[in-house]
Amino acid sequence: MERKLQTKQRHCRFCGSNLNHTFVDLGMSPLCESYVAQDQLNQMEPFYPLHVYICEKCFLVQLDEYVSSENIFSNYAYFSSYSDTWLRHAKDYTDLMVAHFGYNDKSKIIEIASNDGYLLQYFVEKGIPVLGIEPAKNVAEAAIKNGIPTVVKFFGKATAQQVAIEHGKADLLLGNNVLAHVPDINDFVGGMKILLKPDGIITMEFPHLMRLIEENQFDTIYHEHFSYLSFTVVEKMFTSHGLTIFDVEELLTHGGSLRIYACHQGNLSQQVSKRVAELRSREGREGFNHLEYYFSFAEKVKETKRKLLEFLIRVKQEKKSVVGYGAPGKGNTLLNYCGIGTDFINYTVDRNPYKQGKFLPGTHIPIYNPDKIKETKPDFVFILPWNLKDEIIEQIAYIREWGGQFIIPIPEVKVYH
């Protein structure tokens, strides 16, 4: 008698509905921040599915939790302070918050997923009390060393209650690029409600699903990103936990992000901006409330892969040399999905010394200090963190001295002289 394979029924992490529909399947991939040391090169490397689903009820686009967030984030390779663009963005944000809401030495600013203190340092400079909450011990230690008080814990309702008792509640509770990183999104949003003062403000920044789809940013899909968020879905989440989104801004960061502003339901001190209704209706017109809108994405991704490989094959047949710049999570999704290894890219470089001397997960492309580019004078530099292309092109403009050119892979392969 034939036995059928039993597959686990997946459920939406927000509304609990069955997940029956694929958004995109990028095959098997290693954890994108699990850089490989020299002595690990011949060891087995775990790969997990990058199969993304769409919920037919609430339309949350999501990836299964194949690996626990404790395994991913407890010792983390990403330090925010290594990007000048990101530091500028953080400082501009702190200036804006102080100007708009009048935070001062009597306020309490709490950041969730505060990383190495890259943002809170600018509030400290203004004499405003801060607290970071960061699960990665190695990253939190860097913040503490720089004078940023930091609680080393994952955030949720239990942590929120403990922090509220021990440190007090927040006038401003913020989180940049963390909402997409949490497997239990209801526990996370519920925790924010607990930790917020009655008249407090929440701001959250996260990559906008509309930009991901329109600009074919499939490489922003990796195991550290459990959810891919539209404004429509996030508004439903916050409403279900007693929070009102009263304003939203569209940002250029990470290929196109949203910054939402929220407060407790019933806090009448904040007027709901016209931008909230405008973005909600724009997503509605695009088709965010219909499954069909999401189904065309997968074919666009395959076409991008084919064009990129055609380009690299031609370049290598012409005996040209290609190296990478950066070792970001998105780059590892791109390289593993497209099957690009040292046969196409000799090495990559990164400013983060934590990554130097290691190898990219899956592809085992070696990572060096950026000075390596001057030594080898490659014909092409493949910019993996394409969202920082302007900063990187400026930093290594010297490659033009020997006729070097830049490759940008997303939304489709382009060469910059």
SS3 for 169-237 is CEEEEEEECCHHHCCCHHHHHHHHHHHEEEEEEEEEEEEEHHHHHHCCCHHHCCCCCCEEECHHHHHHH
One domain, residues 251 and 201: yes
127 part of a folded domain = yes
One domain, residues 108 and 254: yes
75 part of a folded domain = no
One domain, residues 260 and 335: no
One domain, residues 235 and 332: no
Strand partners, 368: 349
- For the ranges 67-76, 259-268, 279-288, 388-397, which has the lowest average pLDDT? 67-76
More confident residue, 32 or 373: 373
- For the ranges 48-57, 245-254, 271-280, 340-349, which has the lowest average pLDDT? 245-254
pLDDT at 265: 97
Domain range holding 227?
80-294
Residue 151 phi, psi (nearest 5): -95, 125
More confident residue, 71 or 306: 306
217 part of a folded domain = yes
- Residue 37 CB partners (closer than 8 Å, separation 6+): 357, 358, 359
At 195-246, the pLDDT tens digits run: 999 999 999 999 999 999 999 999 999 988 999 999 999 999 999 999 999 9
Share of the chain above pLDDT 70, in %: 94
Looking at 294, 329, 346, the residue that finishes a domain is 294
Element (H, E) at 329: helix 329-338
At 55-65, the pLDDT tens digits run: 999 999 999 88
One domain, residues 247 and 114: yes
pLDDT at 217: 94
pLDDT at 200: 98
More confident residue, 301 or 6: 301
Q: Is the pLDDT reported for residue 110 higher than 80?
A: yes
14 part of a folded domain = no
pLDDT at 389: 93
Q: Which long-range contacts (CB under 8 A, 24 or more apart) does 88-92 make?
A: 89/253, 90/118, 90/119, 90/122, 90/176, 91/122
36 part of a folded domain = no
Report the predicted TM-score, pTM, of the whole model to 2 decimal places: 0.90
One domain, residues 288 and 323: no
One domain, residues 266 and 324: no
62 part of a folded domain = no
- For the ranges 135-144, 181-190, 210-219, 331-340, which has the lowest average pLDDT? 135-144
pLDDT at 82: 59
Calculate mean pLDDT across residues 292-298. 95
Q: What is the CATH number of the domain that holds 401?
A: 3.40.50.720
One domain, residues 274 and 126: yes
Q: Is the pLDDT reported for residue 78 higher than 60?
A: no
The C-alpha atoms of residue 139 and residue 143 are separated, in whole angstroms, by 7
The C-alpha atoms of residue 102 and residue 87 are separated, in whole angstroms, by 22
pLDDT at 4: 40
Task: Please state the domain count of the chain.
Answer: 2
One domain, residues 411 and 326: yes
Looking at 239, 260, 294, the residue that finishes a domain is 294
209 part of a folded domain = yes
Q: What is the CATH number of the domain that holds 135?
A: 3.40.50.150
The C-alpha atoms of residue 382 and residue 413 are separated, in whole angstroms, by 10
One domain, residues 262 and 360: no
- What is the biggest distance separating any 2 CA atoms in the chain, rounded to whole angstroms? 73
Classified as helix, coil or strand, 400 is helix
Which tokens is 139 given? Answer: 């990253």
Residue 161 phi, psi (nearest 5): -65, -40
Q: Is the pLDDT reported for residue 284 higher than 50?
A: yes
One domain, residues 161 and 216: yes
Confidence of residue 72 (pLDDT cuts 50, 70, 90): low
One domain, residues 272 and 363: no
What is the chain's mean pLDDT, rounded? 93
Classified as helix, coil or strand, 26 is strand
3 part of a folded domain = no
Looking at 294, 325, 341, the residue that finishes a domain is 294
